[in-house]
Chains A and B, each alone.
Chain A
Amino acid sequence: MGTLVLSTREYQLARQQFTENQRQARLNWERQTEKDPHDAAHDGTYVIKPLYPLAMLDKGIQQYAGKVIHLGAHERKQSSLNASKDHSEMFRFGELTPSFVLLYIFPLLLIFLGYNTFTEEKERQTLRLLLVQGVSVRQLTLGKWLALSLQLLLLSLLFFVTMVVCYAVSKHEIAVSLSDWIGFMGIYFSYAVVFTNLVILVSAKAKSSGISLTISLSLWILITLIIPKLSTNVAGDLHPFPTLQTFRDNINEDQRNGLNGHNFWNEAAQDFQKKVLQEYGVKTIEELPVAYGGLLLAEGEKYESEIYTKHFNALRNQYGKQQNVYRLSSVLSPFMPVRFVSMALARTDYGFQWHYEDEAEKYRVAFNTALNMNIAENAKGIDGYKAKTSLWTAIPQFDYQWQSTKGILKDHLPEYTIIVVWVTFSFLAMVLASSKIVVV
């Protein structure tokens, strides 16, 4: 419960910082002096990743992904300011967050509560006594399963009620939908049920409590520690991201012969010039009613953005391949699908990162177009044109629209399916294993 209180405090502080810094970034933009709009575009502005209320439960990749994006001319930048770099290596031991408790500590508690479910009966030879009273092994198994599940349910309820109280006492600009809550609680409850099933299954098969506990703990280590680490490392090895140098070189290569707004002389610029002259029905740039430089900058920006989109999409496709490896490893570890769905619902996953960066890129293009078109419309015949400061305030702020829960659930359908499979098969395996208990 303490983790919930701590996380709520931290979330409130982060939200406060977000609001203050976003306001300051906007003020910095609006308080610029009169200047060439394209110079202003080069100086650019900053947008900061917002926080969804469920982020207080699962911080996901927040500490490892950048928080802020610089939106300027000609270049799509990645998010920067990775918070994890401000911590020492000890940070890698993990943070005390509710998701940490639910993913690691909760299953461990279940193991401690249930490792001797059957072994104790075997060791004390009370199993025979129970069976001679007319209880079938299946009934006994279901009874024991229900008893453990009830303890689990009580613990979960206590946890989730505290969670909702923490949410209720915090101030939020966005309300968490009921489907988010149900999804979040459902996924963790299913995870705990899988562990309950596995613990009872092991207890039914093991000869002694010591062996049962050893096997259950080994499973816990495998499921929560080794497979997640191995699968992400393997995914990275099988489908690596290019180095930043290669990524930039590829973009530069694509840009080399295209429009870039500052190059009036290459073939692409000449073609664009012909097209503009034709549209306006004039023969020379001087005859145009607008400043040609502004049009070229605006068109160049669109072209460059398309190239960036192409390369960022390739990067995302590469991540998609990595995601397939994670999904494959979910067959071996229920931790994986639960971790990914939890982060997705908290909007602290890589999907959110991509969505936010894509939306910011759309805004960057619109932002640059507004500035460059101001040049086109006003700078004709003016040497050293400077826009009035009212232009800065006239450009709307970036208004990020959150991805809907429905969309997230759709994107993570494979994870949900795998969890359902885990719950069903682990339950069936538990029933099957207990029905084969030999009573001596």
Chain B
Amino acid sequence: MIPNNSIRLITAELLQLFRDRTFLGLMLLLLVLMALATWNADGHVTEKREQNLVQQDIVYRADVELMAQIDSLHNGLATYEKSYTLPTSGVRLTYNNHRLARLPFKAFSLIAIGQGDLYGNYKKIVLYFKDSYEMNSKELVSPIEQLFGQLDLSFVWVFLLPLIIILVSFNILSLERETGRLPLIAAQPIKIWQWLLMKIGIRFLTICGLLLLFTFALLTVFGIPVWEHISLFGQLILVLVFYMAFWFFFGFAVNLAGYSSGKSLIILTGIWVLFVFLIPSIVNQLGKELHPIPSRLALVNNHQAAYNAIESDLDKEMEALYRLHPDWYSEDPVTKDMSNSTGWNINYLAKQYIAQLKHQPVAEAYEAQVDLKNEWSGGLRVLSPAMIVQRALAHMAGTSTQYYRSFLKQAQEYANTYRQYVFKRLFTNHAFTVDEIKNLSKFKFDEQRVSGTFANDLLALLLYLCALAIFMLVMIQKRIKIK
């Protein structure tokens, strides 16, 4: 049972809060920023969805055209003078009908653009470029936009929400003291720290409630069926509530310590700079120092050197290739004739394939080093709740580095399987049929391969809160004398 006196105090405090212009102004600012961020992220995600559809359509149309041409050829309705234009030719399939790997968008993809402005959500699986073996994906984006980053909900919550919390909590007690009202509060039948806890608690609960409302409303307005993903929404809110609690704890501690308004604000801003700027930057820097990644340029050179070496001893390399893939060997003279498109391309693609095989261990070691560095710095996210929340949000949105790198790895594996399927037939001058084109393998992203972070993130935030709570209790126990 809450005593009547407390209910009166809480009601009075709530009324006062909703009459406070600064508080209302800050809440309005939060709403405006969240709305702008959602709108911006929605535009970004919509554009990426459209790009995916365009790419899907290109592959579909090319396949339909190819199958129609094979059909016409079989029915004697069309003839082809040049071998590389023959629709049944593996050369034609290799060059004109690429495959597509698509990374599906998650339901809450617009809460965090994350690494989405660096990576595409699709990758063309082409068999004829040297760089098709590399883990990359390109789009035309201004690097200035990438440098400044995108305004999304993640930015508002991770960077700006703590500042709003600081601004609504830094001077609760100091203001009373500076305006000479503290003796009046001290005269009430409630301890100062309890009075402060109540004030802070009401602010915390009010902001939590408003944030939940704003988030639910904005996601719904931008077409996300929140009810269908209520468990994910619950996870999101839980992470945000824990993060807000972290900052309110600091607000409480600084008030309890009895500093002046100015000093309290400086301390809280300092803590904000520490957790939101300095610790993450130091972790990034440490990651680079302790797990340096060799230059990607060295990878390019290594691949090129492997390619040159193959060219200087091609016959031997081709023999080794056929020993590795005996079913790729054919006695068909067309496959040996360099003046013929099939023969020339078998030679050209084989060189690239062998170069890739030789280059693969170096490339894999490089990618493993990148993963190691990212895992290491990911582990150190526990040093700052801001880092924990940023990563948790990117993960919920499916826009974390982990997601994109897993997607590219899976796309690469798919490309290898598909390449082997096509090359076996191309190298033996196989004539592709309509059924074979129709049944070409398709890429499917396996989300299970991306390990979840929610439980760990929540636990880390909870530990922070426990540590702060213990700190608070110690402070209260020591009966810090409030000036």
A: residues with CB less than 8 A from B are: 6, 10, 13, 17-18, 20-21, 24-25, 28, 31-33, 35, 43, 46, 48, 60-61, 63-65, 67-68, 70, 78, 80-96, 100, 104-105, 108, 112, 115-116, 208-210, 212-214, 217-218, 221, 225-226, 228-230, 232-233, 235-237, 240-245, 247, 315, 319, 322, 326, 350, 353, 384
For residue B238, CB closer than 8 A to chain A, the reply is: no
How near does chain B come to A234, taking the closest CB pair, in angstroms? 9
| Chain A residues with CB below 8 A from B402, complex form | 88
When A93-B276, A244-B140 are in contact, do A85 and B118 touch as well, CB less than 8 Å? Answer: yes
- Within the complex, the shortest CB–CB distance from B292 to chain A, in Å, comes to 8
Give the residue name and chain of the A residue nearest to B278 (CB).
A96
Main secondary structure, interface of A, reads helix
B378 at the interface (CB under 8 A from A): yes
Q: With A17-B297, A243-B54 as given contacts, are A229 and B150 in contact (CB-CB < 8 Å)? A: yes
Please name the residue on chain B nearest to A108 by beta carbon. B273
**Bound CA span A384–B338, Å:** 10
Report yes or no: B261 in contact with A208, Cβ–Cβ below 8 A. Answer: yes
Q: A213-B266, A218-B167 are in contact. List 8 more A-B contacts (CB 8 A).
A: A21-B300, A81-B300, A86-B370, A90-B387, A105-B273, A209-B262, A221-B163, A229-B149
- The interface residues of chain B, by DSSP majority, are classed as helix
| Contact A93 B277, beta carbon cutoff 8 Å | yes
Q: Does B377 count as interface, using CB distance less than 8 angstroms?
A: yes
Bits for B445-462, please: 1 = Cβ < 8 Å to A, else 0: 000000000000000000
Shortest Cβ distance from residue A113 to the other chain B in the assembled complex, whole angstroms: 10
The reply to whether B281 and A88 form a contact with Cβ atoms under 8 Å apart is no
B283: chain A residues at CB < 8 Å are: 90
CA distance A347 to B142 in the complex (A): 16
**Shortest distance from the beta carbon of B350 to any chain A beta carbon, whole Å:** 15
Min CB distance A37 to B, Å, is 14
Q: Number of B residues whose C-beta is below 8 Å from A? A: 88
Which of B13-21, B304-312, B316-324 interfaces with chain A?
A: B304-312
Q: Which of B170-178, B249-257, B474-482 contacts A (4 or more CB under 8 A)?
A: B170-178
CB distance from A438 to the nearest CB of B (A): 20
Q: Please report which residues of chain B, range 261-318, place their CB below 8 angstroms from some CB of chain A when the two chains form the complex.
A: 261-262, 265-266, 269, 273, 276-278, 280-285, 287-288, 292-298, 300-301, 304-305, 307-308, 311-312
Give the segment of B62-70, B131-139, B183-191, B195-203 that binds chain A: B131-139
Q: How far is the CA of A243 from the CA of B295 in the complex (A)?
A: 28
Contacts of A43 in B (CB 8 A): 304, 307
Q: How many angstroms from the CA of A92 to the CA of B285 in the assembled complex?
A: 12
Interface positions, chain B 185-223, Cβ under 8 Å from A, are: none
**A212 contact set on B, CB distance < 8 A:** 262
- Mask, B134-176, CB within 8 Å of A = 1, is 0010111111111111110001000110010001001100110
Docked complex Cα distance between A233 and B131 (Å): 31
Per CB-CB distance, the 7 closest pairs between chain A and chain B, nearest first, are A210-B261, A93-B280, A64-B143, A21-B297, A61-B143, A209-B262, A64-B146
A411 nearest CB across to chain B (Å): 15
Report the nearest A residue to B41, measured CB to CB: A233
User: Given A89-B400, A241-B142, does the pair A28, B301 have CB atoms closer than 8 Å?
Assistant: yes
Collect the chain B residues with CB atoms within 8 Å of residue A241's CB.
Answer: 140-142
**Residue contacts A-B, CB under 8 angstroms, 14 given:** A13-B292, A21-B301, A25-B297, A46-B304, A70-B131, A80-B131, A86-B373, A87-B401, A93-B284, A94-B277, A100-B281, A105-B273, A236-B142, A241-B140
Q: How far is the CA of A167 from the CA of B331 in the complex (A)?
A: 65
Give A220's nearest chain B residue, CB to CB: B269
Q: Is B260 an interface residue (CB 8 A)?
A: yes
Report the bound CA distance from A217 to B265 in whole Å.
Answer: 9
Q: Point out the residues of chain B lying under 8 angstroms from A91, CB to CB.
A: 284
Of listed A35, A65, A85, A242, residue having the most chain B CB within 10 A? A85
Task: Please name all residues of chain B whose beta carbon is closer than 8 Å to the beta carbon of A235 when the two chains form the complex.
Answer: 142, 145
Within 8 Å by CB of B296, from A32, A86, A92, A93, lies A86
On whether the beta carbons of B155 and A229 are closer than 8 Å, the reply is yes
B22 nearest CB neighbor, chain A only: A214
Q: How far is the CA of A65 from the CA of B288 in the complex (A)?
A: 19
Beta-carbon nearest neighbor of B135 in chain A: A85
